[in-house]
Amino acid sequence: MLLLGIDTSCDDTSAAIVEDGSVIVSNVVSNQDMIHNKYGGIVPELASRRHIEMILPVVDEAFNIANVKFQDISAIAFTYGPGLIGSLLVGSCFAKSLSYVHKIPTVAVNHLEGHICSIFLEEKPEFPFIALVISGGHTSIYLVEDFGEYSEIGRTRDDAAGEAYDKVAKFLGFGYPGGPIIDKMASMGDPEAIRFPRAKLKKGLDFSFSGLKTSVLNYVKKHPESRKEDIAAGFQASVVDVLTDRAIEVAKLKGVESIVLSGGVAANRALREGMLDKTSANGIKTYLPSLRLCTDNAAMIAAAGYHQFIKGNISDYSLNPKAYLPLGKKA
């Protein structure tokens, strides 16, 4: 069964065709980094305008690469939240229009569920597992008991991990997105040269990254002569420690033996290595999607949509996109 996936939640326009929620037939992503780079962050109005320009060619290309026609598609899965509302509107209106014209049902997908399901395009982790969704807009940790069964164990109280990367990069004078640049700079620096704090909230399993970000900014103001590579490495070491330690703590607490990483920050090299090292020392298996499936893409939306579709979850045209859309129940 083939599903068309569409994602325009943030600054990437993406369309994909996926078979049975697990085999990528095509996955086209048009990114807008060049547009937002000079502003040091995403400009929402520019993002939605670019989606309008790109959505048709991107969907066309997904069909061309897959070499299939609309008649071959069983359902259209699209992201209806969370994300930038202007961006979400473009993808959801486009999905509904295609659905109406071609008489194909739509499945509305939560972008965060899409990130978690990205791993099923490459591997088959057994349930239950712990999933970290670490992106530019979100940092949350879930207990995943089945497709569609998510309990949020913790989330960031302030900045998302990717947002902290982007803000620190902007402050250091690097472009947007900051994650890949800091990842590269950090590999040339000494992670022990400067020790930044590891935020641990006194109660609960939430995250916090704004204190770390402020501490990096204050350090740079006080020590303008320090090497940017060392600052990047020190900052990154703190993020990696916090994420890996919390993921292992939650896995032990819930008696779960697998951890799945997802979201743009899961593409980070130090995090991937750190996670593999620490989890194997604790008898836990880590699942890492390949880099192109960590950042936003529509294949993950089609994967999540497939499991809803086979359960009969079809959406109707009255459903509007939502900027704020939590996933699952609060644990």
Q: Which residues bind to ligand KG4, rule: CB under 6 A?
A: 10, 135-137, 162, 165-166, 177-180, 183, 263-265, 267-268, 295-296
Residue 123 CB burial class (10 angstroms; 0-12, 13-18, ≥19): exposed
Strands in 210-276 per DSSP E: 258-262
CA 207/CA 213 separation, integer angstroms: 13
- Buried-state track 103-116, b at ≥16 Cβ within 10 A, e below 16: ebbbbbbbbbbbbb
Q: Is 19 helix (H, G, I), strand (E, B) or coil?
A: strand
CB of residue 280 to ligand KG4, shortest distance in Å: 21
Q: Is 104 helix (H, G, I), strand (E, B) or coil?
A: coil
Given Zn ion, ligand KG4, none, residue 152, with its beta carbon under 5 to 8 Å by kind, binds none
Decide if residue 296 touches Zn ion (CB under 5 A): yes
CB of residue 35 to ligand KG4, shortest distance in Å: 15
Asked if 55 contacts 13 with a C-beta cutoff of 8 angstroms, the reply is: yes
CB of residue 84 to ligand KG4, shortest distance in Å: 10
Looking at the Cβ atoms of 128 and 177, the one nearer to ligand KG4 is 177
Looking at the Cβ atoms of 18 and 112, the one nearer to ligand KG4 is 112
CB of residue 79 to Zn ion, shortest distance in Å: 9
Q: What are the Cα distances from residue 135, in Å, to 178, 271, 328?
A: 12, 13, 18
Given Zn ion, ligand KG4, none, residue 162, with its beta carbon under 5 to 8 Å by kind, binds ligand KG4
Given Zn ion, ligand KG4, none, residue 189, with its beta carbon under 5 to 8 Å by kind, binds none
Footprint of Zn ion on residues 148-187 (CB under 5 A)? none
130 bridge partner residues: 143, 259
In this chain, which of 92, 99, 135, 244 binds Zn ion, going by CB under 5 A? Answer: 135
Residues of this chain that bind Zn ion (CB under 5 A): 135, 296
